[in-house]
Structure 1
Amino acid sequence: MSTGREHAGGTAPGPGRVPLGRGSAWTTRLAFGAAGIGNLYRSVTDAEADGALAAAWDGGVRSFDTAPHYGLGLSERRLGAFLRDRPRDAYTVSTKVGRLLVPDPGARGDDLAHGFAVPATYRRVWDFGADGIVRSLEASLERLGLDRVDIVYLHDPDDHAHQALREAYPALERLRAEGVVGAIGVGMNQTAVPTRFVTETDIDVVLLAGRYTLLDRSGLDELLPAALRRGVSVVVGGVFNSGLLADPRPGSPYDYAAPPPETLWRAVRLREICERHGVPLRAVAARFPLGHPAVAGVLIGLRSAAEAEDAVGLLGREIPAALWEELRREGHLSDDVPVPGRERGR
């Protein structure tokens, strides 16, 4: 992928690796989203988590994304345990900053109010100050058992944009200059604040969740064009819009809520078109973002070996050009939306 900026940091990323911005970090086209192995919504055993990671690794996945938020550190600990005996230059790890985990010994019950089936032994404290960023990263490195991470994202600074821009970003910039991290960015499920970071700072990458999919292409309005102009890479998460594009039926969530009837109808129609061309909707949804030249890879949340094997298979599917053309004819994609096979800039 041409980012418009030179890749720095020594040797080239190598086959199957896409550089992120101007830093030394890279991603594989499919990245492992590790919220699931942090017991997102339901408990996952250590063996199941390890099996998911192993299946992804065997399928060629070498990029792994986690965060302190995911299971109050459980995701980072499980990922670190899996990677411990693997060559450090063979993979990349991204984690996030912005929420400090503070011990809460008096707490009772679980953390399901925040989406994770783990004991509520910590409470999250928002902190986008420079000191909070450093403390958060130090704690993540300890949980991961690593001396560095490849990518650090500012995690959901929706209500803290000013502090994130004025305090957190300069702290990350210094860490990048010192070589503690290879690339820095912002991870959100909206486009306005990431667009500010792209245009006002020198970040390397945006992790954009749910805003560049077959159903929601709001990322194409400003963020993706700005990223392309500035040489900022984009990793797209939420390619299934939290479930509807994986299994379009009544009851399937769309952005963590019930879908509007018109959106459900669109998803069902998308599935019908894909099946007529012999391709699962899931594969088309997973591949679609890779058509844009600013998109370096897609991130899919995985919690089992079967899910990991399925995701690897989805990214390997060939999508007939006739399928994309039918989606255009029916108005599901406009003519200016790039699709795989018609990528620009690669």
Structure 2
Amino acid sequence: MAYVPQGPRELGRSGVCVPALGLGCAPLGNLYTAMPEERAQAVVSTALDGGSGYLDTAPHYGLGLSEERLGRALAGRAPGSYTLSTKVGRRLRPLAPGEQPDGQGFVDVPARAREWDLSRDGIRAGLESSLERLGVDAVDVVYLHDVENHLREVYETGFPALAELREQKTVRAIGFGMNHSDVLARLVADLDVDVVLCAGRWTLLERTAYDDLLPVCERRGTSVVVGGVYNSGLLADPRPGARYDYATAPDELLRRARELAAVCGEFGVPLRAAALRFPFGHPSVAAAVVGAAGPEEVRDNAELFGHDIPDALWHALVDRGLLDGDLPLPTSDPRRPV
């Protein structure tokens, strides 16, 4: 029997539980390309109706557009029927006269600008604004977002403000979300963190988080939500010009991704299915959040997530040098390498 992650799983000791497969809502903010409103609503509805009831968003995504669209999709749904996370650290403001929006990868965005604010009042005001855009009274999880260059403010005011909100039961679980696993490892070691969202550093193509973040999380009892399982697209479709880490993939990584796909094909397993499953070899991983450009991709991700992957595939990837031999594998035998 092949290993299939089962949910829901608790985030740290917070009492917040999430299904193993969640929906990343950056595409709702028009990431790289505009998404029609009707399609955005269908994405969320399909995820919720299909069991992917963990929804992750942020003010950064489309300058609030993702949160607004998600809020419209959640209207009328019982709060307890889904788990919702958003992020703080950047506040949004209206554009000044003559100022142009900086989409930072998002297109057709509202006339707003981002401003860093990790003060206590800024954290509280940022969360309140998110709740208004989402049309909800509370969210389950709040992450400090992309704060790797603001660590002094994180330690002095940002994280204490989040911890205060948790203590007051305004939010149930708190943590950090970013691409830098080494910074996440430091923060988990130093602070009382329930969960981290680590994007792109624990995938079929990259083991960085296994070497720095995951050991600390396992020791501290901190859960990991994995984002970027496809490394910006390379592991979804390894073709020339594919993105890796938000830029065009280097030739060496493209070659390796194509080799991974070839071996997966020998076992009748789509590369995307293997990419979705791989992170769950580590016991600290609670969930993966995956974006979708339409409802058909939501259904496809769910189908791929449940794909039967034989243990022999993982061992073949190790034997052919495409995965390091010390990595934990998502096999039916839970024993980890020593």
TM-score class, shorter-chain normalisation, is over 0.9
Distance of 2:101 and 2:178 partners within structure 1: 25
Q: Does 1:95 align with 2:48?
A: no
CA deviations over 1:46-80 (Å, ceiling 9, x no partner): 11001111111121111000001111111111111
The farther-off stretch of 270-279 and 85-94 is 85-94
Residue 169 of structure 1 corresponds to 159
Where does residue 293 of structure 1 map in the other structure?
A: 283
Unaligned residue ranges in structure 1 (runs of 5+):
1-14
Q: Runs (4+) of structure 1 moved beyond 6 Å?
A: none
What's the secondary structure of 2:217's corresponding residue?
helix
| CA distance 1:107–1:187, shift in 2 (3 Å) | farther
- Which amino acid in 2 is paired with 1:103? P
Residue 111 of structure 1: how far off its partner (Å): 4.1
Please report the TM-score for the alignment, with normalisation by the length of structure 1. 0.92
Q: TM-score, normalised by structure 2?
A: 0.94
Deviates more, 1:120-129 or 1:186-195: 120-129
2:3 is aligned to none
Partner of 1:332: 322
Which residue matches 2:16? 25
Q: 2:54 aligns with which of 63, 80, 87?
A: 63
Shift in alpha-carbon separation, 1:100–1:175, aligned structure 2, 3 A: same
The match for 1:46 among 37, 48, 72 is: 37
Q: Quote how far apart the aligned CAs of 1:220 are.
A: 0.4
Question: What residue ranges of structure 2 are gaps of 5+ in the alignment?
Answer: 1-5
Matches within 5 A, 1:114-263: 114-263=104-253
Contact 2:203 2:230 survives alignment (8 Å) = yes
Indicate if the aligned counterparts of 1:97 and 1:154 stay in contact, CA closer than 8 A.
yes
The DSSP-based 3-state class of the residue aligned with 1:149 is: coil
What's the secondary structure of 1:116's corresponding residue? coil
Residue type matched to 1:125 in 2? E
**Cα displacement (A) at 1:242:** 0.3
Q: Distance in 1 between matches of 2:21 and 2:325?
A: 26
Q: Distance in 2 between matches of 1:242 and 1:119?
A: 21
Distance 2:163 2:37 in 1: 35
What is the aligned partner in structure 2 of residue 323 from structure 1? Answer: 313
Deviation at 1:243, TM superposition (A): 0.7
CA RMSD of aligned residues (A): 1.5
Please list the CA deviations of residues 292-330 of structure 1 after superposition, one character each: whole Å capped at 9, or x if unmatched: 100001010123101101111111112111110100101
1:140 and 1:64 map into 2 onto residues whose CA distance is: 14
Equivalent residue of 1:77, what SS?
Answer: helix
Partner Cα separation in structure 2 for residue 140 and residue 107 of structure 1: 26
Give the Cα separation in 2 of the matches to 1:336 and 1:291: 12
- Residue identity matched to 2:83: T
Post-superposition shift, 1:120?
4.8
Match of 1:77 in 2: 68
